[in-house]
Structure 1
């Protein structure tokens, strides 16, 4: 049966277990959370010695795995068999291995919890194999969160740490880390060590305790461009040039292209309600006013010209029709963006 990762975690916390779990998808945070809970919480330390078996897909055959899964637990009610990196398991990709597993799916050992952690990929949903998995296992497909879903996730996780967080701090985490939930969670865990219960995570705390140096400079650059602050923009580009490896030109151009594309949408919308504007151009509501201010700084014809400049710079840093280094390209680009 198809279940969400959240539902599976809730059921595990209530000691509701199923014989077989097939965990798949791009968002490994939830897959790791389920696997870790089963591995660490279901058995006592004494029970784990005889009843916890960890396999790795690259080194594991289906026959050996299922032989282990069919045995009875020793000194415990259940045994746990986990296949980590199951996407590397050759027998999951061939007919013989799949047939062995299909037979087990129809006749599982009820005292065994068999877990497949099939990371970064999914089984073809149109295949017979996938349909049997759907019917005979707890099938979890974990997808990457969309940008608009991240604030809810961050707020929810921060609450479990017995902290609160400001809207700007949420945006900074989202803008700098993206939708890498594992990194977001790890950074928040590290931050928690420096705070007391009930504290509020602010943007200054994020900047102080979380290493956001590379993206944060880009964030500052975008902010300076939004405000048409040329001296500050030039200064940031100069700092980036000192470490071109850590501050590559192409990602900066991409971020600025996204910014001006959203500004173009803002020029075209008739919406005045900040919440509707936020949804329309896909930005956090906290930053709507900044975009409205930027719209006054950049008329429509300049935005269109700037998008052309960004395209030209993109081609140049890729080495096409360009005789200068990336720093010179970026320096010229910043000037053009503000003086078109």
Structure 2
């Protein structure tokens, strides 16, 4: 049976219990989780007095090769139980495979943290196996998919003792996107600006504090298209045209493409119910499937396929392909017309 990999929460739970590993190899496309673990180690393992002699932060671009890191790792701590070495931008360190020699007998008083961003260690090579054999952690920080964002938002705020209404969560997810560092910054802003005594984020609070209109946004445009509400859809398009900086067409097209692509997949779900669609599309909550079920009642599979093609055409036009005169507003207005008719 394959060994279950530790999650970010698993690693943080160990760290809070003061259970330390000799090496943490943190890698992947999502910076947020790498920074979360590395920052926790940097801020909490040693006291302020211990950090002066026992904590070293290096940057891969400034390190000649892995030998520099190994030499530092072999030092014993001074008047402390551990020393901490954090290597940021570890993907730039040359000769990383030579770390295997250190891992044959790592110094257990050293906590070595390697932050390898925008890429991963080849698990087929010897180094990954040696890290795990030495009792270390190889953690891959994966990008969060758009469908997972509402669950991430709810979970993050719950840890702060705050709830969020589903519409408000969707508004934030669609406005900010999958950049978790930026997303958590916006969520912190919502927590700080909540009126005293309130613990629930509403669409109105998102509108006031993040700058998203609760009535004119991609979430509402999608809802209007699902309901085939021509008047509402065109009002939103007009608002987007008048406020292009806050409503870039590329974001709108991306979200529409994602929705109608998922809708196309939903037709193949074995069970056409909220739970069935949610499971098939890997949605975190059945309520997210309601929109797909509503859209399936109004758009056939053939029409959905045509819509996906029209969105692709609009995307090309927005980038200047076969388009010499249409504005972004014109492109979106034409696309909405073709979706609704």
| TM-score, length-scaled by structure 2 | 0.85
Number of aligned residue pairs: give it.
333
2:11: which partner in 1?
8
Out of 323, 329, 332, which is 2:331 matched to? 329
What are the equivalent positions in structure 2 for 1:29-44 lying under 5 Å apart?
Answer: 29-44=32-47
Assess, with a 3 A threshold, how the Cα gap between structure 1 residues 146 and 245 changes in structure 2: closer, same or farther.
closer
What are the equivalent positions in structure 2 for 1:124-273 lying under 5 Å apart?
Answer: 124-136=122-134, 137-195=136-194, 196=196, 199-212=199-212, 217-242=217-242, 244=244, 247-266=247-266, 271-273=271-273
Out of 24, 49, 52, which is 1:49 matched to? 52
* 1: CA distance, partners of 2:267 / 2:44: 53
* 2: CA distance, partners of 1:332 / 1:148: 27
* 1: CA distance, partners of 2:55 / 2:204: 44
> Are the aligned partners of 2:170 and 2:219 in contact in 1 as well (CA < 8 Å)?
no
1:27: which partner in 2?
30
* 2: CA distance, partners of 1:42 / 1:232: 54
The CA deviation at 1:19 is 1.7
**Bigger mean CA offset, 244-253 vs 229-238:** 244-253
What are the equivalent positions in structure 2 for 1:258-337 lying under 5 Å apart?
Answer: 258-266=258-266, 271-281=271-281, 284-299=285-300, 302-327=303-328, 328-337=330-339
Assess, with a 3 A threshold, how the Cα gap between structure 1 residues 242 and 128 changes in structure 2: closer, same or farther.
same
> Are the aligned partners of 1:162 and 1:197 in contact in 2 as well (CA < 8 Å)?
no
Pick 1 or 2: higher relative contact order, CA cutoff 8 A, min separation 6. 1
**Bigger mean CA offset, 181-190 vs 28-37:** 181-190
1:208-243 alpha-carbon deviations (Å, 9 max, x no partner): 2224469x7222322222232333323332333345
> Are the aligned partners of 2:269 and 2:276 in contact in 1 as well (CA < 8 Å)?
no
The CA deviation at 1:268 is 6.1
1:140-180 alpha-carbon deviations (Å, 9 max, x no partner): 12222344544443333222211222333333333333333
* SS of 1:139 mapped into structure 2: strand
* SS of 2:19 mapped into structure 1: coil
The CA deviation at 1:257 is 2.9
Assess, with a 3 A threshold, how the Cα gap between structure 1 residues 43 and 219 changes in structure 2: closer, same or farther.
same
> 2:86 aligned with 1:82, yes or no?
yes
What are the equivalent positions in structure 2 for 1:43-122 lying under 5 Å apart?
Answer: 43-61=46-64, 62-92=66-96, 98-99=97-98, 101-122=99-120
1:95: which partner in 2?
none
The CA deviation at 1:80 is 1.0
1:17: which partner in 2?
20
The CA deviation at 1:315 is 3.5
**Bigger mean CA offset, 38-47 vs 160-169:** 160-169
* 2: CA distance, partners of 1:84 / 1:189: 25
Assess, with a 3 A threshold, how the Cα gap between structure 1 residues 164 and 249 changes in structure 2: closer, same or farther.
closer
> Are the aligned partners of 2:149 and 2:178 in contact in 1 as well (CA < 8 Å)?
yes
Please tell me the root mean square deviation across aligned C-alpha atoms, in Å.
2.9
| TM-score, length-scaled by structure 1 | 0.85
* 2: CA distance, partners of 1:109 / 1:286: 51
* 2: CA distance, partners of 1:305 / 1:144: 29
Assess, with a 3 A threshold, how the Cα gap between structure 1 residues 121 and 197 changes in structure 2: closer, same or farther.
farther
